[in-house]
């Protein structure tokens, strides 16, 4: 699933710095890397990734959880965070990521709209007309 997400996000112009195979590596990136948004699998090699979510929240970086276990396993402190069920559909993932960014302050003029992200084929230019 991580590689599917990477392919989808990269196909729409995103630069992906993961996936990270272990929570400590992801936590280091969450604390120090230049990140605009994140997609977190709740279970990373058998370890919950909530500590990574806490680090992203401290830096005010929007994120979305991805899980096959359902929203029920998400701690209450993350009730405001989007959850994408695995296996995911491309449009569901893109809409959740855009919603996370919008909730943290909206999008800039050159970021694609939800409609552009969900209807444009991968690799297609998806910038707002100026």
Higher confidence at residue 113 or residue 42?
42
Higher confidence at residue 92 or residue 106?
92
pTM, two decimals, is 0.75
- What's the burial of 71, exposed, middle or buried (CB within 10 Å: 0-12/13-18/19+)? middle
Q: What is the pLDDT of residues 11-32, one digit of tens each?
A: 888 888 888 999 999 999 999 9
Region of poorest pLDDT, from 20-29, 53-62, 94-103, 110-119: 110-119
**CA–CA gap between residue 56 and residue 51 (Å, rounded):** 9
Q: What is the pLDDT of residues 44-73, one digit of tens each?
A: 999 999 999 999 999 999 999 999 998 999
Query: What is 2-119's CATH topology?
Result: Rossmann fold (3.40.50)
């Amino acid at each position: 699933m991580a590689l599917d997400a990477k392919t989808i996000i990269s196909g729409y112009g995103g630069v992906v710095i993961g996936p990270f195979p272990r929570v400590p590596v992801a936590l280091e990136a969450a604390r120090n890397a230049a990140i605009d948004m994140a997609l977190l699998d709740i279970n990373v090699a058998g370890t919950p990734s909530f500590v990574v979510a806490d680090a992203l929240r401290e830096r005010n970086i929007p994120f979305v959880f991805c899980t096959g276990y359902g929203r029920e396993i998400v701690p209450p402190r993350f009730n405001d965070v989007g959850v994408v069920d695995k296996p995911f559909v491309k449009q569901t993932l893109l809409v959740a990521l855009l919603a996370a960014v919008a909730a943290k302050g909206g999008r800039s003029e050159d970021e694609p709209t939800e409609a552009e992200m969900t209807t444009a084929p991968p690799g297609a230019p998806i910038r707002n007309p100026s």
